[in-house]
Amino acid sequence: MRALVGIILNTFRVAVRQPFYYLLAGAGLAALLVTMRLPFFTFYNDVDMYKDLGLSFILVFLLLAGLLAAATGVAREVEDKTAQTILAKALGRWQFVLGKYLGAMAAVVLAAIVLGAVFAAAVYYRVELDAGVLERPYAQGGVGAEVAAFKARQLAQALTVVPGVVLVILQVGVLAAVATALSTRLAPAASVALSLTAFVVGHLTSFLEGAVRAAGGVAAAVVQGILTVVPFLEVFNINQKLSHAMLTPLEAGSPGGAEWAAVWAYVGVSALYAAAYAAAAIGMGVLLFRRRSLS
């Protein structure tokens, strides 16, 4: 176990020291802060639009950071001939692959916490920024039931991004597991490219399945086999619900509170799917790595 923890920590330190990590995290923060003040001309639905756009930004930047970290972990050690030295120290190959994956995901979670915290604060401020003429006095401070209700709405809007960020982490975790498995045999660039392909196909699975059924034939069977292997990523996409629904997690017994509980129940089911798929992908990566010669 100590050896596994060592691999995780070393991979995490290497990942967060890479220039691409800070570049992507900085670009994500800049995108969230710049769009926070942009008008969307949606007639008092700008907050909803901003939440949807912000979750998409976080997904893109975390996905790129996660795939680059996961795809380079195993491949770099093999190319630098350091994998032989590490594995010679009573460390199993499964621990090596798993440690590389968990270390990359630790870097993803750190970036997600930073981006998520900034995004939640930005949503809180955006509610005040987009307050209507009648609500603007409440946004500027004071006391009273109306002011308390407005502040509660700001907090509720900010908290609704939390399950969205968690689902982003789960989605990146699935694709990072794919990238880690591929990196046991392929170069980092090929692993990232194939993982991004899985990302696109995973979000188009429902559409492609309909097209396959209509086409028929051998090609359809081949495509259906590919779709069976590719993760179904739409299970992690509830941006529409989180962006356009008013969830009130702090009001026990309210319809919004019940909806908030349902959202987290859905996140829990999605986490089980992500864990199962990631475990299968890492297991396949371990099998591929065991058959690879390091000499």
Q: What confidence tier does 205 reach under pLDDT thresholds 50, 70, 90?
A: confident
For the chain, state the CA radius of gyration: 22
DSSP secondary-structure letter at 252? T
pLDDT for position 93: 83
pLDDT for position 142: 54
Condensed to tens digits (0 to 9), the pLDDT of residues 234-274 reads 889 887 777 665 565 555 555 566 677 888 899 999 999 99
Q: Which of 245, 63, 26 is nearest to 165 (CA)?
A: 63
Condensed to tens digits (0 to 9), the pLDDT of residues 85-110 reads 777 676 788 888 999 999 999 999 99
Domain-wise residue ranges, the chain: 2-186+236-290
pLDDT for position 134: 43
- Which pTM was predicted? 0.87
Condensed to tens digits (0 to 9), the pLDDT of residues 31-41 reads 999 998 887 77
Q: Distance of CA 122 to CAs 36, 54, 127, Å?
A: 6, 10, 9
pLDDT for position 234: 87
Check pLDDT > 80 for residue 1: no
pLDDT for position 16: 93
φ/ψ region of 142 (left if φ > 0, alpha if ψ in -120 to 50, else beta) reads left
Check pLDDT > 50 for residue 4: yes
| Residue 90: burial class (beta carbons within 10 Å; 0-12, 13-18, 19+) | exposed
Instruction: Return the SS3 of 55.
Output: helix
Q: What confidence tier does 148 reach under pLDDT thresholds 50, 70, 90?
A: confident
Distance of CA 289 to the CA centre of its chain: 26
For residue 205, the number of C-alpha atoms closer than 13 Å in the C-beta half-sphere is 16
pLDDT average, residue stretch 183-207: 88
What is the dihedral angle through the alpha carbons of 191, 194, 198, 204, rounded to the nearest 10 degrees? Answer: 160
Check pLDDT > 50 for residue 133: no
Condensed to tens digits (0 to 9), the pLDDT of residues 180-193 reads 999 998 888 999 99
Where does 13-119 show beta strands of DSSP type E?
none
pLDDT for position 254: 54
Condensed to tens digits (0 to 9), the pLDDT of residues 104-130 reads 999 999 999 999 999 999 998 888 877
Rounded distance between C-alpha atoms, residue 146 and residue 28, angstroms: 35
